């Protein structure tokens, strides 16, 4: 099985979907990348063993909640969703699990505002991910609550004891069980809005955020330059993006920007952009039918001109040549579990 998804959640009258619930599974990291929107993910399995991801999700116009698990060691780099705060609640992790280039802290929950991150997920990793639009947080929380939450996310850690992490995990699991057990509630906008409010206010009450936290991740010129560069990359045309432009946009010297990228992502700016382009090429190759497009054509389309070097780089990253990827059968574009609140109809189907 490559990818399967079961989803439901039509609005009253069937005219428009208010929310989605479903179970999504894939055994191909590229399919997982494609299905993980609104994240922009670069997945790199490490070591032996087949890749497998399972995601049980609830997605509303302003929030996404899912529990996911991984079968093998995975290193990833990602751009978090635009305009959303992300909070991760671990269920099971290993000694190799790390976020933001540091080991998973037992006394806190990894969190972030829109930006870039690097993480390592150990074999058997399980966690809940909560994504909430910043506009909803600003509407529901007091100024002090919002300031403390954004400060904690800016430092990449919301303080929480192991006991509190367990309670939050059980509460989030209850929300998933309730919505999956009674999908008819998702036919009513008022019920969906109540779920969103419950998620926001429940987290705000559960998290014990100290007042007056500063945001060290945003305090330095180096970090501010990195954030500006990542924001530019998010909207840039990857085929023409170059590091000189990034340095100008970031407002820092090339050397400072290099330090910032290595600090945050473990790569130089040029290497990160090349990784983005390599993963984009892999997705294009898998989505193209053999005989309809050539490796050369797709490579030129993404701005690669040195095809010999490309083949070597591609093989080092993905373990096969681009031609082998193009020749592989692919069941079709992987459905996303969230499309910004406007959901296409999804049939119940499993790809063999």
Q: pLDDT, tens digit, for every residue of 135-190?
A: 999 999 988 889 889 988 988 888 888 899 999 999 999 999 999 999 999 989 99
Contacts of 51 (CB under 8 A, 6+ apart): 27, 28, 29, 32, 43, 45, 70, 71, 72, 74
**31 and 45 Cβ atoms separated by less than 8 Å:** no
pLDDT at 166: 93
Q: Over 80: is that where the pLDDT of 331 sits?
A: no
Mean pLDDT of the chain: 83
Q: pLDDT, tens digit, for every residue of 179-227?
A: 999 999 998 999 999 999 999 999 998 987 766 444 444 448 888 899 9
DSSP code at position 83: T
Confidence of residue 348 (pLDDT cuts 50, 70, 90): very low
Q: Over 80: is that where the pLDDT of 278 sits?
A: yes
Give the CB-side neighbour count of residue 49, counting CA atoms within 13 A.
Answer: 15
Q: Mark 174-185 as b/e (b = at least 16 C-beta within 10 Å).
A: ebbeebbeebeb
pLDDT at 104: 74
Pick the most confident of 35-39, 213-217, 275-279, 287-291: 275-279
Q: Can you tell me the mean pLDDT for 5-34? A: 70
**114 and 83 Cβ atoms separated by less than 8 Å:** yes
67 three-state secondary structure: strand
Q: Find the largest Cα–Cα distance for the chain.
A: 61
266 three-state secondary structure: coil
CA dist., res. 237 & res. 316, Å (int):
24
Return the higher-pLDDT residue of 108 and 3: 108
Q: Provide φ and ψ at 350, rounded to 5°.
A: -130, 130
Q: Can you tell me the mean pLDDT for 279-298? A: 83
pLDDT at 180: 95
**274 and 303 Cβ atoms separated by less than 8 Å:** no
Lowest-confidence region among 157-171, 172-186, 262-276, 332-346? 332-346
pLDDT at 198: 96
pLDDT at 14: 44
Edge-to-edge strands of the sheet including 74-79?
A: 40-45, 74-79, 116-121, 98-99, 102-103
Rounded (10°) angle between helices 269-287 and 307-318:
90
């Amino acid at each position: 099985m490559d990818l399967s998804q079961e989803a439901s959640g039509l609005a009253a009258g069937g005219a428009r979907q208010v929310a989605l619930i479903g179970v999504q599974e894939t055994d191909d990291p590229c399919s997982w990348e494609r299905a993980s929107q609104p994240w922009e993910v670069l997945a790199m399995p490490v070591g032996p063993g087949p890749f497998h991801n399972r995601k049980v999700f609830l997605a509303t116009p302003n929030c996404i909640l899912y529990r996911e698990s991984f079968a093998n060691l995975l290193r990833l780099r990602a751009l978090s969703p635009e305009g959303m705060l992300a909070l991760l609640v671990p269920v099971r992790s290993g000694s190799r699990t790390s976020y933001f280039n540091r080991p998973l802290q037992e006394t806190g929950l990894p969190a972030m505002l829109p930006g870039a991150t690097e993480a390592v997920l150990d074999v058997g990793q399980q966690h809940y991910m909560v994504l909430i639009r910043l506009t909803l947080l600003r509407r529901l929380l007091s100024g002090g609550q919002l300031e403390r939450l954004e400060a904690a996310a800016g430092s990449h850690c919301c303080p929480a004891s192991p006991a509190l992490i367990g309670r939050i995990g059980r509460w989030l699991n209850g929300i998933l069980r309730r919505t999956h057990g009674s999908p008819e509630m998702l036919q009513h906008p008022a019920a969906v809005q109540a779920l969103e409010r419950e998620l926001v206010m429940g987290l705000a009450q559960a998290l014990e955020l100290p007042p007056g936290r500063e945001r060290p991740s945003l305090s330095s010129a180096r970090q501010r330059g990195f954030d500006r560069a990542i924001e530019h990359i998010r909207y840039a045309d990857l085929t023409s993006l170059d590091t000189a432009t990034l340095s100008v946009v970031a407002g820092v010297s090339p050397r400072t920007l290099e330090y910032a990228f290595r600090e945050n992502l473990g790569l130089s700016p040029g290497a990160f952009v090349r990784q983005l382009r390599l993963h984009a090429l892999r997705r294009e190759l898998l989505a193209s039918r053999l005989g309809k497009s050539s490796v050369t054509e797709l490579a030129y389309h993404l701005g690669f001109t040195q095809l010999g070097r490309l083949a070597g780089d591609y093989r080092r990253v993905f373990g096969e040549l681009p031609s082998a990827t193009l020749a592989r059968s692919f069941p079709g574009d992987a459905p996303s579990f969230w499309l910004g609140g406007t959901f296409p109809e999804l049939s119940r189907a499993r790809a063999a």
